[in-house]
């Protein structure tokens, strides 16, 4: 049976798991969103979507982000990482052996501290904006579609936004956001983008399946 994330446990212990950009300045900022024309790698919003951690690699990345975000207040104790890695607490989809987990935590304590590798984001919606998924998509289309340049970066940004809104990624939807033809999108996608599209859609389908059948 799928468990909801126990966010209350983290909140009660004042664990930081979100941070907006601290050095990059938005090109445009409103009460609803911040827009970075050149993108920013500084947006760390863990557990924002309903997608759970599905791999060891992703789990370690989450650990590194938590280490980075909380280091000014002292190191997070090991039991915080252990809590997140426990499948019963709703953050991961798999079981990890205690030996493997302790090795991972020890490694994070050794190499952690610098900003972890992150995806570039151009639009960051404000908390409690009240916008529906459709309204957010309209804003994404307006802002990302300003540029007449259709390349892998702009396509990937649209893919991330569509996925964040819980929708299935199609090249037609990406083309609509970029205000271009589907053929133009298809001419500018690489094998890596195609694979990423499939991975994101598979992840989204798993979430919807669990919600439908309450697995």
| 36-70 residue pLDDT tens | 999 999 999 999 887 889 889 999 999 999 999 99
Q: In the predicted model, is pLDDT for residue 207 greater than 70?
A: no
Q: What is the pLDDT of residues 163-196, one digit of tens each?
A: 888 888 999 999 988 888 999 999 999 898 898 8
Tokens 């694979």 correspond to: 195
- Cβ atoms of residues 149 and 112 within 8 Å: no
Query: Which residue, 202, 210, 28, is CA-closest to 124?
Result: 28
Q: Which residues contact 29 (CB under 8 A, 6 or more apart)?
A: 35
Assign residue 174 a region: left if phi > 0, alpha if psi is -120 to 50, beta otherwise?
A: alpha
Q: Does one domain contain both 188 and 102?
A: no
- Three-state DSSP class for 95? coil
Query: Looking at the domain assignment, is residue 150 inside a domain?
Result: yes
Q: Write down the pTM of the prediction.
A: 0.78
Query: Looking at the domain assignment, is residue 214 inside a domain?
Result: yes
* Of the residues 119, 153, 183, the one at which a domain ends: 119
Tell me the percentage of the chain whose pLDDT exceeds 70. 93
- Cβ atoms of residues 33 and 125 within 8 Å: yes
* Of the residues 88, 119, 150, the one at which a domain ends: 119
> Could you give the number of structural domains in the chain?
2
Q: Does one domain contain both 144 and 115?
A: no
Query: Hey, which residues does 34 pair with through a beta bridge?
Result: 29, 124
Query: Looking at the domain assignment, is residue 28 inside a domain?
Result: no
Q: Does one domain contain both 93 and 166?
A: no
Q: Which domain holds residue 57?
A: 7-23+44-119
What span, in angstroms and rounded, lies between the C-alpha atoms of 7 and 4? Answer: 9
What span, in angstroms and rounded, lies between the C-alpha atoms of 72 and 14? Answer: 13
- Cβ atoms of residues 9 and 83 within 8 Å: yes
Q: Which residues of 40-54 are buried (b: 16+ CB within 10 A; e: fewer)?
A: bebbbbbbeeebbbe
Query: Hey, which residues does 29 pair with through a beta bridge?
Result: 34
Arithmetic mean of pLDDT over the chain = 88
Q: Which 8-state DSSP code applies to residue 2?
A: -
- Cβ atoms of residues 6 and 15 within 8 Å: no
Q: Give the DSSP per-residue string, 35-55.
A: EEEEEES--EETT-SSPPB-S
Q: Does one domain contain both 65 and 145?
A: no
What span, in angstroms and rounded, lies between the C-alpha atoms of 213 and 76? Answer: 36
């Amino acid at each position: 049976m799928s468990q909801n994330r126990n966010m209350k446990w983290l909140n009660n212990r004042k664990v930081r798991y979100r941070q907006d950009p601290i050095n990059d300045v938005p090109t445009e900022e409103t009460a609803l969103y911040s827009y970075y024309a050149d993108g920013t790698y500084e947006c760390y919003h863990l557990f924002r979507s309903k997608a759970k951690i599905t791999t060891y690699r992703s789990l370690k990345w989450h650990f590194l982000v938590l280490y980075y975000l909380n280091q000014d207040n002292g190191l997070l104790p090991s039991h915080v990482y252990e809590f997140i890695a426990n499948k019963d607490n709703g953050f991961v989809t798999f079981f990890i052996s205690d030996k493997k987990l302790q090795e991972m935590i020890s490694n994070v304590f050794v190499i952690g501290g610098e900003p972890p590798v992150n995806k570039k984001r151009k639009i960051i919606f404000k908390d409690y904006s009240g916008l529906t998924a459709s309204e957010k998509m309209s804003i994404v289309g307006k802002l990302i579609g300003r540029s007449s340049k259709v390349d892998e970066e702009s396509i990937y940004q649209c893919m991330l936004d569509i996925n964040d809104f819980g929708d299935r990624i199609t090249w037609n939807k990406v083309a609509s956001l970029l205000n271009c033809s589907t053929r133009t999108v298809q001419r500018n996608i690489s094998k890596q983008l195609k694979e990423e599209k499939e991975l994101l859609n598979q992840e989204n389908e798993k979430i919807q399946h669990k919600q439908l059948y309450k697995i």
